[in-house]
Homo-oligomer: A and B are copies of this chain.
C-alpha cells in the first residue's frame, strides 16, 4: 500500500475529465492536479515550447511526494512522454499507450480514426503505438484545432449547429474511410462524446484517452502494490497558473460536479 497522492497535469482543464475517471475507478486515492491555465492551450504550440512547459509542470508536481504522475493531456503525452520519463525517476503514465491498446483491441475492421490537437497529430505518436500493436491497421488522423475553444466556451451539445458543422468537417475523412473505432486523443473531447457519436453513427467505438489513461494508472499501481486503502475517501487538491476564479467556474463542467477540494495558484515559470 502506498498512501502518497497521484499527481495529474494538463495544459488546462481537459485533464479534469481524466480526474473524474480516476476518482471513479480509484476513490481511495488522493490527487494533486496542476492545470496550466496561464499558458493553455498547448496543442497549437511548437514541440520545444510544449516540452519546456511540460518540464515545468512535472517539476512543480515533483515538489510533492507523489507515487506517480499522470499526463492527462494528449498533446504532452504525444510530444514529451519520452523526455519526461527519461528525466524523472518516478512512474509517469501518459494517455497515448493505453488509448492505442484500447483502439487496437476494439477495432474489428482495422480502420481507426484519431482526432487530436495539431501538435498531437504532428507527432505521429498514436500511429506508431497502434502500428506496433497491429501492423495491419489503417489510421486516419485529423487535427481538430477548434474543438478545444468550442468546448471551453460551452459549445459541445448536440443541436448546436456550430459544433455539429465543425465536427462533420473534421470527421468526414474518417467516416469516408469506414473507421469502426474513433480515438478521442485529447482530454477535452469526452465532452463532445454525444456530438461525435451521432456524427460517426452506430457501431463505432469511441475510445476516450482520459478514461484509458485512468485505467492504466489502476493497472500499474495495482501491479506494484501501490494502491491506497480503497475503503477511505480520497481528496483532490488543485493548482492552476492563472486566477482561481476562472478555474472554479469552468472546472465543474469537466469534473461533472462542483470543485470541492482546495484550489491554489502557482507561478509555474519558477519551476
Which residues of A does B touch, CB under 8 Å?
37-39, 44-49, 145-146, 149-150, 152-153, 155, 161-162, 165-166, 241-243, 245-246, 269
Chain B contacts for A162, CB-based, 8 A: 162, 165-166
How many copies the complex holds: the figure is: 2
Besides the known contacts A45-B243, A145-B149, A146-B149, 4 further A-B residue pairs in the complex with CB atoms under 8 A apart: A44-B246, A146-B153, A149-B149, A269-B269
Given contacts A162-B162, A165-B161, A165-B162, contact A46 B146 (CB under 8 A): no
Q: Please tell me if the beta carbons of B161 and A46 are within 8 angstroms of each other in the complex.
A: no
Q: Which of B48, B165, B243, B246 contacts A243 (CB 8 A)?
A: B48
**A146 CA to B166 CA, complexed, in Å:** 13
Q: Please tell me if the beta carbons of B46 and A246 are within 8 angstroms of each other in the complex.
A: yes
**A243 CA to B45 CA, complexed, in Å:** 8
Chain B contacts for A48, CB-based, 8 A: 243
**A46 CA to B241 CA, complexed, in Å:** 10
Chain B contacts for A152, CB-based, 8 A: 44, 145
Q: Which of B38, B46, B155 contacts A45 (CB 8 A)?
A: B38
**A162 CA to B169 CA, complexed, in Å:** 11
Given contacts A49-B242, A242-B49, contact A150 B146 (CB under 8 A): yes
Chain B contacts for A245, CB-based, 8 A: 46
The listed residue with most B CB atoms (<10 A of its CB), out of A46, A242, A269, is A46
A-B contact pairs, 18 of them (CB 8 A): A38-B39, A38-B45, A38-B49, A44-B152, A44-B246, A45-B246, A46-B242, A46-B246, A47-B243, A48-B243, A49-B241, A145-B152, A145-B153, A146-B149, A146-B155, A161-B165, A162-B165, A165-B165
- Write the nearest CB–CB distance from A249 to chain B, whole angstroms: 12
Chain B contacts for A269, CB-based, 8 A: 269
Q: Please tell me if the beta carbons of A49 and B146 are within 8 angstroms of each other in the complex.
A: no
**A165 CA to B152 CA, complexed, in Å:** 18
Chain B contacts for A39, CB-based, 8 A: 38-39
**A147 CA to B39 CA, complexed, in Å:** 19
- Write the nearest CB–CB distance from A137 to chain B, whole angstroms: 29
Give 10 closest A-B pairs by Cβ, nearest first: A46-B243, A149-B149, A49-B242, A269-B269, A38-B49, A162-B165, A46-B242, A145-B153, A45-B242, A162-B162
